[in-house]
Structure formats: C-alpha cells, structure tokens
A and B are shown apart, each in its own frame.
Chain A
Amino acid sequence: MFGYTKRPLFLIAWKNLKTYPVRILLTTSSIILGVAVIIASSIFSESNKSAFDNLFSGIYEGIDLVANPVQEDFANDFSDSRGQGPISFELKKIPDKRIQEIKDLPGVKDAWGEVFGFAQFIKIVPRDCRSHTYERECTETIFISNGFAPTFGGSWDTSPYAKQWELIDGKAPENNKEVVMDKTTAENNDYSVGDRVTVLAGSTPASFSIVGIADFANVGSPGGATFALFELKTAQTLLDSKGQVDLVNIVIENNADIETVRTLIENLDKGGLDVINAQEAAAEQADGIKQGLNFFNTILNVFAGIALFVGAFIIQNTFRILLLQRTKELSLLRALGTSKKQIYRLVLSESIFMSLIGSGIGIGLGIGLAVVVKEGLKYFEFGLPDGPLVLTTEAAITGAIVGITVTILSSLLPARKASQVSPMEAIRESTLTPKLKSLIKRLIFGSAVTTLGFALLFGVLYDFLDLPSLSGLQQVGFGAGVIFIGISIITPSITKPFVFLFDKLYEIVFGILGKLATENSKRTPRRTASTASALMIGLTLISLANVITTSFKAQAESVVGEVVKADYQVSAAQVFVSPGIPTGLADELIELEEVTELSRSRATIVGYEERPLILGAVDEAIFDLIKTENVSGSKEEFAKPNSMGVLKQKAERDNINIGDEITLTIPEEGEMTFTIAYIFDWTTPPPAEFFLLLENYTFFSNESLDTEIYFNVKDKNEATQDKLDAIVSDYPGAKLRDQDGLVEEANNQIQQLLNVIYGFLSISVFVALFGITNTLSLSVYERTREIGLMRAIGTYRKQVRRMIFVESSIISIFGAFLGTGLGIFFAWSLIKALEDEGFSNFTVSVSQTFTWIGIAVISGVIAAILPAIKASRQNILEAISYE
C-alpha cells in the first residue's frame, strides 16, 4: 500500500516547518516580540484597572453615603495662560457639629467625619559635611515616598463600621503624639510599631510614635501612597481643618431607604452639602482614574504598533529570502504539475502555521514582559497600585489576531512572487540582481512622495499652508509621516549610492574583505534596504526623542541661567504637603552675615470683583535676584505705599494701565484701594499676578508661609553651603538649590521621561536586530559556494567572520544614519512648530547622537555573530561540490 495524502501541499508545508524549526523562529521572532508587547501592555493596563477598582471599592467599603461640602466653582480662575495652577484657595469643609446632626437623623446607623490632606513622612539621616570647618552636624532630609505615588495624611476612623483600614499590628492612634503608618510604607522603609518618625504636615514637622501599622484593602496602601493616620483632633490640627472635617461617611439602618436618608442629610445644609451614594461614587472615581490610565495604555499600544510595523518589514523580508532559497523546490513542484494557485496556498498555509506559533509564543513572552515592566517600573519608582497581573481572554485573542494578521499580510507579496516561479528555475542557476528599471521607478515614485511630504511640512511650518481640521502639530506629524513613507520607498534605490560612499573607506580599512562586503550589500539592494529600514524606524524615533529632550534641556538651562540671577533659591520641597516655607527661615537667613541680599515672595487670597484672587508680595531686592522686564511704570513708584505692580500678561488681558485704581477686599482689613504703578514681566513661573511690596503691609504677616526665597551670598563656597544646608534642614518642607541645582532638577525630570521612552523604543530596535540576523543568515546561505571557494583558496575562518561583520555594519550604519537624520529633522520640525509656545532652542547632542549610532552599529555586529559563525564553519567540500 502506497502512502496517499489528500492534501499533499499541506503536508509539504507542515514537513517544511517541522524540518526547519530555526527558520520558524527566525521568521516569527518579530511577530513574537510585537505580540508580546501588545499582550504586556494589555496585562499592564488591565492589572492597573482592576487594582484601581479594588482601591475605590476599598475606600467606600461598608459605607452607604458620603456627605461632601459643596465647593465654590472658582478654581478655574487660577489657571492662567501660563498654565500655573492654583497656589492655594480655601476649601470648604463641614463643621464638626454637623456630624452629630447627621447621626441624629432617622435611618442613620452611624456617621463619622474624615479629615484628609497631604502629609509627608520624613527621615533625617546624618551625612558628611562639605567643609570640615563647620561645627554642626550635617544632615540630609529624606522624603519617604513609594515612587511617584502621593503622600497623604488623614484621620483614623474609630467607627466600628469603618472598614477601609485594618490594623495588622499595634493599636489605633489616641493622642497627638501617635501615628499609624500604612503597611506598604512600613515595609518599604523598615518601620515597625514603637519606632519614632517625623511627619511634615502643613509647614512644621513634628515627631510621632508609630503605634500601629494598617493595611488598606489588602494592598498595603491605596495606590502605593504613603499614609499617616492620626487621631481625629490631631489630624484636624495638622491638616488645617480645626473644628471641621473634609467629608462625613454615613452608614444607614438596614431598613432605611437610602434616597430618603440622602435627602434628609442634604436638607441639613441646603446648597452646602452634596451627599452621594458611596457605591456609585466608587465606580465613578475608578472610571475617572481608568480614563487617565488610558493615556498610558495608548502609549504602550503605540510602542507595540511600532514593534509590529518593524516586524512586518522583517517578516516580509524573511519570507522573500526563504522562498528564494526554496526556488528550486518550488519550481520542481511546478514542474511536477502544481498550479500557481497551489503554490500560493502552500506558502500562505506555511505563514498561517508560523503566525499561530509566533502568536502563541508571543502571548507567553508578553506575560513575562509584563512582569519585567512591572518590576522595572517599581525599580524606577513609578508607583502604581499593586495587585495581581490580569490577562483577559479578549487581550489574548486581540494579540493573537493582530499577530496572525500582520504575518499573513506580510507574506502575501512574497507568496505571490513565489507562485510565479517558472518550472525551469529548477534546472537553471538563478541570479538575484533586481532589475534596474524597478529601482528607478521606485526612486521616482519615492522621491515624489518625499517631496510632497517636505512641501507639506515646510508649508505648515512657514505658514503658507494650513490643512483644515488638523492642529498645527498634527499637520507637522502628517507631513513627517509622508516623508517617512517616501524615504522608505526610496531606500532600495539609494542603497547603492550610499554604500558607494563607504566603498573606498571600507576597502582601505578592511582590504578585499571590505570590498566583498560592500559589494554584497549592493548586490541585493532591496534586501539591504528593508533590513536597514527596520532599524531606521527605531533610530528615527530614538533620535527624535533624543534631540527634543536635549533641546528642552538646553532651553531649561538657558532659561534658568537667564532668569534666576540669585545664588540660591528656597522653595517648598513638597508643594502638595506644604505650599510654602515657614517665614522663620527667611528671618534666619537674613540675619546671616554671608547673605547680602534676599527677597521673600508671599501670597495671600483676597477678593477682587467678588472673586478670590491671589495677591503676591515681594521684597524690593527681588528685582536684582530674578530677571524681570520693565514694561511701564517704575520700581520706585511700586515701592511707595498703596502702589501695586501687575504682570504684563494680566495687564494685557484685562487692559490694566498705569494709574488705574484697583480695589481689593483684604481679609480682616476690609476694602483697600491701590494704584497700578508698575507693569512688568516676571520670567520664572510667577507666584501671583498682582504684587505689593511686602514691608508696606502688615496683613501679609498673617500668612505663615513664604512661597519662595531668593538670595545672594558674599562668597559662594562650601562652608557657606554647609551653613545654609544646616539652617534649611531645620525646615524639612523647604528645599535649597543653587542655579546648578535648579538646572539639574529640570534635567532629571526630562531624563527620567527619556529613559522610559528609550526603554520602549529599544524593543523596536531589538526587533530590527532580529531582521539583521535573518538577512545575514540567509545571505550567508545564498553564498554558500562563494564562501566555500574563498575558504578553499585560503581565506581564514576569522576573515570570513570579519566579512560578515563588515556587511552587517553596512546595513546598520545605513539604517542608523538614515534614521538619525530623519529623527533630527523631525525634531527640528517639531520644535519649529512649537516656536509659538516659547520653544526656540534646537540642540543636537553630537556625542549622544553618535552614541546611539554607535550602539546601533555595535548591536548590528552582535546580530551578525550567529550568521558569521555559521559562515566560517561551512564545510568547504560541500560548498564547492556540484552534482
């Protein structure tokens, strides 16, 4: 009995895959990575969502209603054109007596007030002094936080129905010396019951004894925030809520109707109380946060998209080369009577097999990647709520579908090409050189697209073109996208001229091996180009990110250097915890003989035309310490009593002129009228829009906080620095920085962001490297005879390896340079487009640019290691023998 199969082509496809597992891995490597990123991003966001769901249902556990005070809707007025938020405004609260009133209502089982605000655990540790002449001990203040999560303080709920926090050790706080710490913070920082800890709430730090450790909804703490929980009275004092609470939690009787009770409570203070259904509120707030997180999810998906896009390039390339290798096999099938359609189906069924395998592995790898990303973010201190990793079926299916679709789509063209193999190929030696005509066609078409892209981009940038329904940035992005597509089309046509640039250099450096390598890259320009293109995408994005951030940094540096003339600036270390610096610090500093000039800035809330307004006050020295621009009026007039200064922007917006009179309602003073004497531009973020001279008015002394202090010193040296550090360290809420410190701080923030972006973009570069490995392995395979001949006539193995490395370096240099060039150009366009927003600095860091090119080239060479080893180990006799 002879073996008979109904589906011979299916069998061939299957046998092929079974026989060449490495081939499957090579082809699917990019799919695997792309799918993995999608899965990881989905796991990541789903896990966060479920964590937030738990969080909010935890917050309201066991509570039926929550009474909140109705806030006046004036917060919007404080965000001015520069995007500065409110400095501070009075939050409406609920007076203590209301709690009892609620408790007394029919249907209410229990009600308790809750106070909530910002508080900061502080650790003060000794450190080495900068100079040895200073007699005091030098210390360093460490603000304890779990990553970027906020630092909160609140009241400990004593009601038997309160279930948010569960004591896992110790007892509840009972007096103003005791605090309960959340489990996450305690574990992360090795605190336990009995330890002492300093807490900064408001502006003055105080020492507390930790009497208990509490767990929040089994996750340690909500969202990784640090929590200092005090007995209610203490919390009210510390968190600026004397005699009042932020909200009241209410539990109703089992038989009571929730709506009836709700109305009863709201009627206690008509218009002043907003009572909400706790369970509905939990869902609503969780949704709000989730929407916020969608942004993060979108970013992850964009990166996954990039990885898959790069992957598609590589799959298509790999398929094409693999099929080329099998030309003989396919043409034999054709000669035996297989139809074109059948060949097409054979290739497609192989790609379906591969896509299934690739997607499967990708999903597995994605789970691993999610764990790595999560741990990585933890390591880099991005606090997100803790919780189990969640992989939804939907996400898995989506990942698989995307992976399968991309693979199959990428294999359509190569499959079509394969089906057109002539049955005669089996007998002929095939040649690989692409037709010049198609390259020229490509060049013409690609150039047209690229030119169109440039025209769009420059048109938008230089304002003679405006695409309807797109914002300025979107137009720039659109133009850049068109250019990118154009360049991708052109690359095969410009491979030869590009490699030509290297010919001589490579020949001089590497001799005949260099020549052979450059010739090989030119031999298959399309393959070289599409391999390089994959790398180009990653490098474009990296250099774009790089130049943008370098430019922003340079901008920050020049702005800081330009606008801050003072030697030192003191500001609030944790703006949320304490909005300012206790005035005592400025008093101490001004007494120092080292300090030559000092200006405080302070702010208070006053009424202006029935609305709250932040009124700033400064010392005269401010005009020497930061750069202000005189618009009209004079500083001298400003210094006179009843004179007021106003910021340029405000004056322009509200049409305020010199000599205008402004009447303000000052708390505890009544109405006061001021004359506008000075209009000026404050070049750093200003603390307010209207200014008075601090020493002229007593009502500012009611404020206990300065927003900022600027000062100059006689001699800026280490001893002075130590002395200043020591004084400032008594005020843990204050942060002392010199100019370098300010620049560094700005730069650190940018750099952190950049590192995250680099991390994600590296994935696309990694995918591209797989492409290089693929291309080279196949190129080595194609040149079996050539390499065998070279070995036969006396080429060392080492030399063969070197040749492959050089070839790889050509591909990666090509991709890296194209990508870097495009990235720099796109960055320039972007900054140009942002010119109106105040971005003017375009700086390319030569060292960083070349570092990335270097990394790309070195990675390219690393990607060539396997093919190189394979080439050098080739059996000479097999290579040169012929049938």
Chain B
Amino acid sequence: MNKLIETIDLTKIYGEKETSVTALSSINTGFNENQFTAIMGPSGSGKSTLLHCLAGLDKVTSGSILINGVDLASLNDKELTKMRRDSFGFVFQAFNLIPTLTAEENITLPSSIAGRKPEEEWVKQVIETMDIGDRLKHRPNELSGGQQQRVAAARAMASKPEVIFADEPSGNLDSKSSKELLVFMKSIVEELNQTIVMVTHDPYAASFAERVIMLKDGEIANDLDNPTQEEIVSQVTSLTEI
C-alpha cells in the first residue's frame, strides 16, 4: 500500500521555555491510502494535536509532514487552504455544518467555494451511502445529531479528497447513531476507496478501524493492525495504568 501521509520527527511544542508543553515528540509514522486509521490515547496524549498538524490546521514546531511527498511546512496559508479544500475532508465532533445552508448546500460547500460544479454521480453515490437522500433540503437544525454527522461525512467526501480527517466524529452521538455513522465510515473506505484518519477516545469507535495508533504523552505507544475491541480496551487500560 502507498504511503499517503508520512511524518518525520514530527514535534509540536506549545508555549515557550519554562512554560512549554511538548504535545508531540518525534512522531515517525505514515498513513496508507485506502485505509481507516484510528488515533487513540488518553486526554492530553496529543491525539487531536496530531490530527490538526496532519490536516494543516496547526503548524509543527519541528520535523515535517509529507502529503504525497509535499512538505506541509513549505506551503503558505493560501496553498494550505487549497490543500484542505481539494485534498482533505473534515468531520468534527460538533458544529460541522453551516446553519444557514441546507444539507445539500453544506455537502457541496467545498466545491462551491472552489467555484466548481460537484461531480454529480459521485455526490449521488455518497449521499446514497450515507442514507441522507430524504433530508437534503433540510437545514441543520431540522436534522438529528446523527443525521448532521452523516451530512458532515458526506461533505467531507463530496469533493473526492485524498484523505478524510475525523475528530471524534461520534463523540456527541447516542450509541445507535454512533454505530450507524461508524458503519457508514467503514463502508466509505471499503466501497468508495476513501482514506480516513480518525481521532477517538472510544475503543468501540476505534474497533471499526483497520489500524489503531496509540499515543501517550506525545509519543506512539503502540500501533495495532485490525485489533478487536477487547484488544483495544486492554491496551488503553494498560496505557492508563502505567
């Protein structure tokens, strides 16, 4: 499998001198194309920071992130923005949708911003996969939390990004909606050949991923292939115990 994203000695330090906090310390890893990766770890482990850095939302202190061989640090704000728009998709924990736009408009927002017509066939397929075909004309406040997150996921995919970054996408959902969303996400990777990097603290959510990276104190503590939920839980427990 192709390495889509590679990190070399990725380090992120917040603050300066005495008050500085090392959020990420020399992370060397990669993310494969067409794979569902979960990043796990206890609070403060640096998992969100890693995602933000990978997605070009936050600047790294040292080291580099290569997206298809391009160093994110070499891009200016405009190029980074373009990268996020055209190559990345985003699903956040909450407030994913613009409240004044309908579901459909939210889904096509990235291509609208780019001034492009969305690929109709593809968008149709995404909407079908997400099962939100009957909610397209509704505004976010008329949708349930689960529906909102599925619309967000559809938006993330609509512009055929190279990678979708998901930050606790099921964090605000009840268990039923949460499961639905994760099933859909898994199917995106399997059926529509997408790549997902997801941050979560929930072992159940992580169990949908093909690979789980465990972070602790800004370092990779473990890297699991196709773990079961039990394996994840035991890993998490051991990490918290130490």
**CB within 8 Å of B: which residues of A?**
431, 511-513, 515-516, 519-520, 522-523, 785-786, 789-797, 799, 876-877, 880, 882
Q: Which residues of chain A are near B100, meaning CB under 8 Å?
A: 516, 519-520, 522-523
From A511, A789, A797, A880, contact of B98 by CB (8 A): A789
CA A660 – CA B64 in complex, angstroms? 112
Interface string of B32-71 (1 = CB under 8 A from A): 0000000000000000000010010110000000000000
Q: What residues on A are CB-neighbors of B95 within 8 Å? A: 785-786, 789, 880, 882
Chain B residues with Cβ below 8 Å from A786 are 95, 98-99
Please give, as numbers and ranges, the residues of chain B lying within 8 Å of A522 by CB-CB distance.
100
Instruction: Name 4 extra pairs, CB < 8 A, besides A786-B99, A882-B94.
Output: A512-B105, A877-B57, A877-B58, A880-B57
Q: Give every chain B residue within 8 A of A511 (Cβ-Cβ).
A: 112-113, 115
Known: A519-B101, A792-B57, A797-B77. A880 touches B114 (CB 8 A): no
Partner of B90, one of A512, A793, A797: A793
Residue B86 lies at the interface, judged by CB distance under 8 Å to chain A: yes
A-B contact pairs, 25 of them (CB 8 A): A511-B112, A512-B101, A512-B109, A516-B98, A516-B100, A520-B100, A786-B98, A789-B95, A789-B96, A789-B98, A791-B81, A792-B92, A793-B84, A793-B113, A793-B155, A794-B88, A795-B85, A796-B78, A796-B81, A796-B113, A797-B77, A797-B81, A877-B57, A877-B58, A880-B95
CA distance in complex: A520, B155 (Å): 21
Tell me, yes or no, whether B82 is within 8 Å of chain A by CB. Answer: yes
B93 within 8 A of A: yes
Give A795's nearest chain B residue, CB to CB: B113
In whole angstroms, how far apart are the Cα atoms of A790 and B155 in the complex?
12
The minimal Cβ–Cβ distance linking B165 to chain A, given in whole angstroms, is 9
B1 to chain A, nearest CB (A): 26
Asked if B101 contacts A795 (CB within 8 A), the reply is no
Q: State A785–B94 Cα separation when bound (angstroms).
A: 10
Closest B residue, CB atoms, query A794: B85
Q: Which residues of A are found within 8 Å of B88, using beta-carbon distances?
A: 794
Chain A contacts for B218, CB-based, 8 A: none
Quote the shortest CB–CB distance from A802 to chain B (angstroms): 11
Check if B52 sits within 8 Å of A877, measured CB to CB. yes
Q: Which of A512, A519, A797, A877 lies in contact with B113, CB distance below 8 A?
A: A512
- When chains A and B are docked, how far (Å) is the Cα of A94 from the Cα of B98? 89
Which residues of B have CB within 8 Å of A513? 113
B contact residues around A523 at 8 Å (CB): 99-100
- Contact in complex: A789, B99 (CB < 8 Å): no
CA gap between A786 and B99 in the complex, in Å:
8
B77 engages A799 (CB within 8 Å): no
| A-B contacts at CB below 8 angstroms, number | 77
Using CB atoms, name the residue of chain B closest to A523: B100
Judge if B110 is at the interface, Cβ distance under 8 Å. yes
Residue in A515, A876, A880, A882 whose beta carbon sits within 8 Å of that of B105 in the complex: A515
Q: Enumerate chain A residues within 8 angstroms of B94, measured Cβ to Cβ.
A: 882
Query: How many whole Å from A128's CB to the nearest CB in chain B?
Result: 57
Residue contact B86 to A794, C-beta cutoff 8 Å: yes
Contacts of B98 in A (CB 8 A): 516, 786, 789-790
Please indicate the chain B residues that have their CB under 8 angstroms from the CB of A797 in the complex. 77-78, 81
Which residues in A have their C-beta under 8 angstroms from that of B99?
A: 523, 786
CB contacts (< 8 Å) of A794 on chain B: these are 81-86, 88, 110, 113-114
Q: Kindly report which residue of chain B lies nearest to residue A799, judged by CB atoms.
A: B113
Q: Which label, helix, strand, loop or mixed, suits the secondary structure of the A interface?
A: helix
Task: List chain A residues, Cβ under 8 A from B58.
Answer: 877
B110-159, CB < 8 A from A: 110, 112-115, 141, 155
CB distance from B98 to the nearest CB of A (A): 6
Q: Which residue of B lies closest to A517 (CB)?
A: B100
Pick the most buried of A785, A790, A882: most chain B CB atoms within 10 A of its CB. A882
Measured in the bound complex, the distance between the Cα atoms of B85 and A789 in whole Å is 11
Q: Which residues from B are CB-within-8-Å of A516?
A: 98, 100-101
Partner of B93, one of A520, A792, A882: A882
CB distance from B81 to the nearest CB of A (A): 5
Whether B90 pairs with A792 at a CB distance below 8 angstroms is yes
Instruction: For A787, give the chain B residue with the smallest CB separation.
Output: B98
In the complex, which residues of chain B have a beta carbon less than 8 angstroms from the beta carbon of A799?
113
Give the docked Cα–Cα distance between A795 and B99 (Å): 16
Indicate with 1 or 0, residue by residue over B11-24, a CB within 8 angstroms of chain A CB atoms.
Answer: 00000000000000
Q: Are B84 and A792 in contact (CB under 8 A)?
A: yes
What's the nearest-Cβ distance from chain A to residue B28, in Å? 24
B183 CB → nearest A CB, Å: 24
Q: Would you call A876 and B57 a contact (CB within 8 A)?
A: yes
What is the bound-complex CA distance between A880 and B89, given in angstroms? 15
CB closest residue in chain B, given A876: B57
Contacts of B93 in A (CB 8 A): 882
Residues of A within 8 A of B86 (CB): 794
**Which A residues are in CB contact (< 8 Å) with B92?**
789, 792, 880
* CB-defined contacts of B52 to chain A, threshold 8 Å: 877
**B residues in contact with A795, CB < 8 Å:** 81, 85, 113
How far does the alpha carbon of A794 sit from the alpha carbon of B96 in the complex, in Å? 13
Report Cα–Cα, A876/B95, bound state, in Å. 13
Q: Note all chain A residues with C-beta closer than 8 A to B57.
A: 792, 876-877, 880
Closest residue of chain B to A882 (Cβ to Cβ) is: B94
Alpha-carbon distance A790/B97, docked complex (angstroms): 9
Residue on B with the closest CB to A522? B100
CB distance from A449 to the nearest CB of B (A): 31
B82 near A512 with CB under 8 A, answer no
How far does the Cβ of A525 sit from chain B's closest Cβ, in whole Å?
Answer: 13
- The residues of B that contact A791 with a CB separation of less than 8 Å are 81
Counting from the closest, the 10 A-B pairs by CB-CB distance are A794-B85, A519-B100, A512-B112, A794-B84, A785-B95, A795-B113, A796-B81, A876-B57, A793-B110, A793-B90
Please measure, in the bound complex, the distance between the C-alpha atom of A169 and the C-alpha atom of B85, giving whole angstroms.
80
**Smallest CB-CB separation from A432: which chain B residue?**
B99
Which of B52, B58, B81, B86 has the most A CB atoms < 10 Å from its CB? B81
Which of chain B's residues has its CB closest to A873's CB?
B77
A785, A792, A797, A799: which has the most chain B beta carbons within 10 Å? A792
Q: Shortest distance in angstroms between A797's beta carbon and chain B's nearest beta carbon?
A: 7
| Contact A515–B101 (Cβ < 8 Å) | yes
Residues of the B chain whose Cβ atoms lie less than 8 Å from the Cβ of A882:
93-95
A790–B105 Cα distance when bound, in Å, is: 13
Cα(A336)–Cα(B118), bound, Å: 51
Bound-state CA distance A205–B114 (Å) is: 77
What B residues does A793 contact at CB under 8 A? 84-85, 89-90, 109-110, 113, 155
CA A79 to CA B137, docked complex, whole Å: 75
Residues in chain B near residue A796, CB distance under 8 A: 78, 81-82, 113
Complex: chain A residue closest to B87, CB-CB? A794
Q: Cβ of B155: which chain A residues have Cβ within 8 Å of it?
A: 793
Q: Which residue of B lies closest to A791 (CB)?
A: B81
Complex Cα distance A279/B57, Å?
A: 82
Please indicate which of the listed interface residues A516, A789, A793, A880 has the most CB atoms of chain B within 10 Å of its own CB: A793
Q: How far is the CA of A516 from the CA of B83 in the complex (A)?
A: 22
CB distance from B199 to the nearest CB of A (A): 13
Complex CA distance for A880 and B113, rounded to whole angstroms: 19
- How far does the Cβ of A595 sit from chain B's closest Cβ, in whole Å? 71
When distances are taken between beta carbons in the complex, the residues of chain A under 8 Å from B109 are 512, 790, 793
Chain B hits for A876, CB < 8 A: 57
Distance, CA A882 to CA B112, complexed state (A): 27
Q: Which residues of B contact A792 (CB under 8 A)?
A: 55, 57, 84, 90, 92
